[in-house]
Structures are given as structure tokens and as C-alpha cells.
Structure 1
Amino acid sequence: MTLPESRPANTDAKKAVERLSVYVYDAPVRIWHWANAFSILTLALTGYFIGSPLTSVSGEASANYLMGRIRFIHFAAAQILTVLLILRVYWVLVGNVHARQIFYVPIWSGRFWKQLSHEVRWYMFMARQPKKYAGHNPLARFTMFLMFTLPLFFMVITGFALYSEGAGRDSWEYVVFGWVFSMWPNSQDVRTNHHLGMWVILIFVIVHIYVAVREDIMSSQSIISSMISGERLSKELED
């Protein structure tokens, strides 16, 4: 959905400025965004130390349960992230059109690919002006679906599969996610893929932050504040 074209607020002025406001992100989407970001940060930090444990410390083991606490925080954050993801999928069904954008890509639409091509040229500084969209632009949708939404589901599935190893074959985790080991019988392969999935999401986060800041500066429309207020503000200038 593109933002509507503006009209000069004062035709006698050399430059007319009109601010357009479109309500884009519902409160549940905004809450999920920030809670999800906190969960991912917690999971990445604790997951890194689980993959590369800290060196042993001297003293009584019961007084030095650092790695146990790190693993507990990781498991707790994973369960929070999973609940948030389930609720987010529910909101795809009942929320507005913008709530669905990062969960599917209209690859059958020629218009989508044409708009995506323009966004690529814009981010490569080959296009002079950006196209403005109320929600995510086509390139953002495509990238978020491939590098965030799908990896997020992958991390939940492989994470619970790994957890089921300790919970046992009679646990609900193994009943629901044990099939993962039929694809990768060696659980170390699952751990490696889970670890790689973390880096995919972290690379996406870095690019996501850069693009959000860049668009706030260069596109004359709000990006970061939209995920706080829910409104997309756009400033149009006409000579």
C-alpha cells in the first residue's frame, strides 16, 4: 500500500509542506516487536555462551552455577519467544493488512518485483527518490520473510528438539519436535544449524537497524517512531 499523494497546504508559498499520517501498526504488533527484540537479544547472548562455554571456576560447584543459570535464562527466553510467536501468528489472522506483510511474499505479482527492483536501486543509491509505503516496502517484506520470519520458526523447532534430548523421549517436547532427529540423526548437526540460524538473525538485525535509521533520515517519513506510536508520518515537499 503506497501513501496517498499530498496536496500543497498553501499554493501561494514557494514550498508547501503537508504531513500525512497513516495508522499502520496495531498495538499487539508493536508490543510483539519490542518484546521479540528483547527475547532475541537475550537468546543470542546466552546461546553464544552455551555454544562457547566459559572456563571453569574454582570452588564448590553448588556455589558456581553460572552456566546452569545461563542455560535457564536461555530456555526461559525461548519459551517466551515461542508464546509471542504463536500470538503473533494469531494476530496475522485478526489484525490489519500490515500485520500480515512479513509472513508471506506475493512472488506471483509482477508489480511486487518491479517495486522490489526500485527499492534495490534506492538502497544502492541508484534511484533519486524513494517510493513511499504505508507498511513495509517490498524489499523489506522479502528480506524479513527470508531472514527473519522463516529463521525464527526454524530456531523454535530446532531449539525445542535440542531441549527434548534432556527432557527425555516421553516428554511433550520430543513428541512434538523429535521428528527433527529423523532429518539430522546426529544431534550435533542440529546444534550447528541452530547456531548458524542465530547468526542469520543477528545479521538481519544489524541490517534492519541500519535501514531503519537510513530511511528515517533520507525518505522524509517516520520509520523507527512508527513502531512506537503505530503511525507512519510522511512529509511531502512541493516547489
Structure 2
Amino acid sequence: MASVSQGLVDKSSMVLIGIYGQGTNSMDNSVEKYSIVPYAGKFPQPVEYNTAIHGMQQANIETLLRLLQGFPNFDIKAYIDEKLGGMAGANIPRGLIAMWNGVSVPDGWALCNGQIVEDLQTPDLSGKFIVGWSSGNEDYNLIGNTGGQEKVTLSTQEIPSHVHNFADAYFIEAHSDLVGANGTQWIGNNLSGSNKTDRDNSYVCLWDHDTRAAGGGQPHENRPPYYVLAYIIKL
């Protein structure tokens, strides 16, 4: 066995870090056998029981057994899970925003609903889309800018240029031909006064027309297809 003097370990001796016997695997409650594992270099190397026990005094093994009996029952799986859970968010920067498909917000995160949590002002992203930052666009060159509308009512200037077709009435020009008794046109000479009058093309008439009004002026849907997730922020 290794000897310890004034806090120093005699490296010429063999250091035991395990002992042969039976125990319960805390992960699946199965019964397993263990062997003595001596320290040999950087990593421990398992050695068969008969080899490891060779040259050792029985008193040393009994001493080690008494020491091991003083350790409490230890759940290795629970310990590893706890450490891994702590490492999961160790490298996530504060203020990182992610999308969450769950009902409850995970520990160490907060919902992005405008509240202040642990001195962190969360952005209010309720019912909003996210747009990427862009230095060349004044709408998108400042973090926290907002804009857009869920529904839009178009104005006249926003409607594309177009024409409307409509039917116009045509009126026959007035005339005053002399007509005979049987409906035939009267033709004669040396008549007193004018025998025909025609006002065609004598005047220029301008007619203003309006088409019938159509449409209800209601706003239309202005959003693309969507799927709802929750935005959460790292505390």
C-alpha cells in the first residue's frame, strides 16, 4: 500500500483505488463484481484480483475495507445527471433568444413578453415576427425597432393603375328637313326660308361620367402562413 507522510504519497508503493467484491449498480440495480485497480501512470488500469492481491498483507485489505464502509451510499447516475444539467447552460450567453415548443419556460430562461426578470428587460415579442438586422435599411438597422401591421386597408395611391369600362348613350343630332305629307322628303325651288337645318358638329359638348362604386373598404390579411412558438430569453 502507499504510505502517506506529511501530506506526501510514497509513489514507490501501489495505490489502491478499488477493491474486489460485490456491489449494486445504481443505474440498473444489477449485482456486479469489482476488482482492485492500482494506479499506473496517467490512467488507472484494471488488474485481475489474483495479480493485484499478490504480495499484499491481509491486514492492509481489512484496513481498506473498514475505510470503504465509512462512505455513504452514492448514486452515480444522479450525480452525473446533475453535473450535465449544470453544464447544459454554462456556455449560453445571457440575453440569447430561442424559440420554445413547450408549456412551461425552462429554468434559467424567461418568456419574452416585456417583463423585467433578474434585472434583464425582456423584449415584448408576443404575437410578433422577427426580422434580421441590416445596416443598409433604416427600418432594420437598430435592435428593438418595430413595424408592420396585421391587416392593411389600401389607399388610392397604393392601388395599381387601371381603367374602368362603362356604356355611354348616343344621341341623334337634331335636324329640320321639310317632309312631305306622305312622309317623303320635300324638294322644291324658290322656297322662302331655309328648308334644312343641321346642328351636327356645331357645338363641343363635354360629358363627365362616374362609374358605380364597388368594394367595402375592409382591411385584408397581411401575414404569411404562421406556426406559433414561444420566444424565451436566457437569464
Higher relative contact order (CA 8 A, sep 6+): 1
- Give 1 or 2: higher strand fraction: 2
Pairwise same-fold verdict (TM > 0.5): no
Higher helix proportion (structure 1 or 2): 1
- TM-score bracket, shorter-length normalisation: under 0.3
Q: Which has the larger radius of gyration?
A: 2
TM-score, with structure 1 as normaliser: 0.19
